[in-house]
Amino acid sequence: MSTQTQVATSHTSSRRTIITSIDDSPKATLRSPEQIQHYDLHGASFEVPSFTMKQIYDAIPNHCFRPSNMRSAAYVVRDLVFTGILLYGAVNIPLISSTPLRALAWSAYAVAQGMVWTGVWILAHECGHGALFTHRWMNNIVGLVLHSFLLVPFHSWRISHAKHHKATGHLQRDMIFIPETKDEFLDRKFGKSFDLNLSHMVEDAPLYSLYKLLEHQFFGMPLYLLFSISAPYKGNGRYPWWKLNHFYLGKDGPIFQAKDVRDVLISDIGIATMLAAIYASAKYFGTWNTFIMYIVPYFFVNHWIVAITYLHHTDGSLPHYADGAWSFPRGASATIDRDFGFIGRHIFHSIIETHVLHHLVSTIPFYKSHEATMAIKGILGKSYRSDTKTNFLMALWRNFRRCQWIEESINGSGVFFFRNLEWEMKRMK
């Protein structure tokens, strides 16, 4: 079929309709994904994982599971000291007489502080998993303080994030980055009828892609906290928007249960306290100073957290699973390790380099994650995926443009891979 052919189609099926056609059937009717040859977006063959969690736990040295309170506290103190040093430097930036040099200094401060606070965010994330300290109360106190400082409701996020870990790669239950189906993507981009060749040209426009990427990076985290964008129940009409946020105190929403309301309230108080501190800072130090010293680095934190999370779960080599084909080991290994050099290992606490392990066993402290990762590689075999050659930011740009929708690898298998317009056009020829 020529790429010039006009394709008119009705895209009335939603993600839920397409996947439910598999999920609602008895699981025995699914074609066994292990006996089918799958191919990812790059054309590489894919083998459905067959390892067990017992094999994973048995391979990891026992000491990797035990955090050191002193060592963990030292990392927290270190990051707070870095924060203080940068703030002290920022206070003196107005003394620079040259406007260009002053602008350069403010830019350097915002970028550096954004990276340091991303490390702080990640330490709170470790607390949310109970991995940073030996006692739950220690993790909760430190996590609440650090996340509230960065306007993240600690317990609320901890609860929803745990759901993500329990159902990673599941097309109905995962909490974040559930990809669009082909019909959803085409409907959103081009409407009911479209010219495939023209659509391809529009989608590849670099300025348009850059605009959407910046929107995705700097506002993705606030939108997730406020509206649970990308969650499986988003847009199904069952819940009003105020029940989809991480601050909702009711027990009739999709995220929290009655037992969670107290923790959500504590998280809300933490956020309210920080907002009051920001207001007081603006009154005392001035709105501009507060904006440049806190708000701008805060948006850089959003950028890094969204980039890290997105790239861990978005790659042409990564599968997604329908209910009948999903299992915890398969979903947990449906992520990828990357490399961000010194910043990744020492400022971002190795979350980029050891994320596969983190999804398999999330209670291992980050400073023991490299050893544990090496221990499980032999068990994972071909199921372990990493991309240490592609520059981290280049991978973000590439995957944002190429990983456009998911499609079932083989009908009835329940295994889905990313596809795009270029891939579709080649198939249609």
Question: What is the arithmetic mean of pLDDT over 168-190?
Answer: 85
More confident residue, 210 or 88: 88
pTM listed for this prediction = 0.87
Residue 24 clears pLDDT 50, i.e. is over it: no
The conformation of residue 180, written as its DSSP 8-state character, comes to P
DSSP for 205-260 reads -HHHHHHHHHHHHHHHHHHHHHH-TTSTTTTSSSS-GGGSSTT---SSSSS--GGG
Total domain count, the chain: 1
- 245 vs 89, which has greater pLDDT? 89
Give the Cα separation of 204 and 401 in Å (integer).
7
| pLDDT tier for residue 320 given thresholds of 50, 70 and 90 | very high
The per-residue pLDDT for range 84-93, each reduced to its tens digit, is 999 999 999 9
The predicted structure's pLDDT at residue 196: 56
pLDDT for residue 117: 98
Measured distance CA(272)–CA(294) in Å, rounded: 16
- For residue 230, is it within any domain? yes
pLDDT of the residue at 197: 55
What was the pLDDT predicted at 181?
86
Residue 29: pLDDT band by 50, 70, 90 thresholds? very low
pLDDT at position 68:
98
**pLDDT (tens digit per residue) in 273-308:** 999 999 999 999 999 999 999 999 999 999 999 999
Average pLDDT over residues 212-216: 81
The pLDDT, as a whole number, for residue 21 is 34
Residue 193 has a pLDDT of 60
pLDDT of residue 48: 93
pLDDT at res. 236: 55
Say yes or no to pLDDT of 51 above 50.
Answer: yes
Q: How far apart are CA 353 and CA 318, in angstroms?
A: 16
On the question of pLDDT at 214 being above 90, the answer is: no
pLDDT over threshold 70, residue 160: yes
How do residues 96-143 score in pLDDT, each as one tens digit?
Answer: 999 999 999 999 999 999 999 999 999 999 999 999 999 999 999 999
Predicted confidence band of residue 19 (pLDDT cuts 50, 70, 90): very low
Specify the pLDDT at position 305: 95
Least confident of 224-228, 304-308, 389-393: 224-228
The residue segments making up the domain with residue 124 are: 6-428
- What is the per-residue pLDDT for 25? 34
Which residue's structure tokens are 């959500």? Answer: 264
What pLDDT does 221 receive?
85
The one-letter code for the residue type at 30 is L
Higher pLDDT, 220 or 331: 331
Give percent of the chain with pLDDT exceeding 70.
86
Average of per-residue pLDDT across 203-228: 78
pLDDT of residue 205: 67
Residue 429: pLDDT band with limits 50, 70, 90: low
> What is the pLDDT averaged over residues 225-246?
74
Confidence of residue 5 (pLDDT cuts 50, 70, 90): very low
Which of the residue ranges 167-176, 180-189, 338-347, 378-387 would you say has the lowest mean pLDDT? 180-189
Q: Is residue 377 part of a domain?
A: yes
1 domain residue, yes or no: no
Q: Return the higher-pLDDT residue of 429 and 353.
A: 353
Is 70 exceeded by the pLDDT of residue 204? no
Average pLDDT across the chain, whole number: 86
| The pLDDT of residue 376 is above 60 | yes
218 domain-assigned = yes
Residue 244 lies in a domain: yes
Predicted local distance difference test score (pLDDT) of residue 155: 97
Q: Rounded mean pLDDT of 364-382? A: 97
Quick one: pLDDT at residue 6?
33
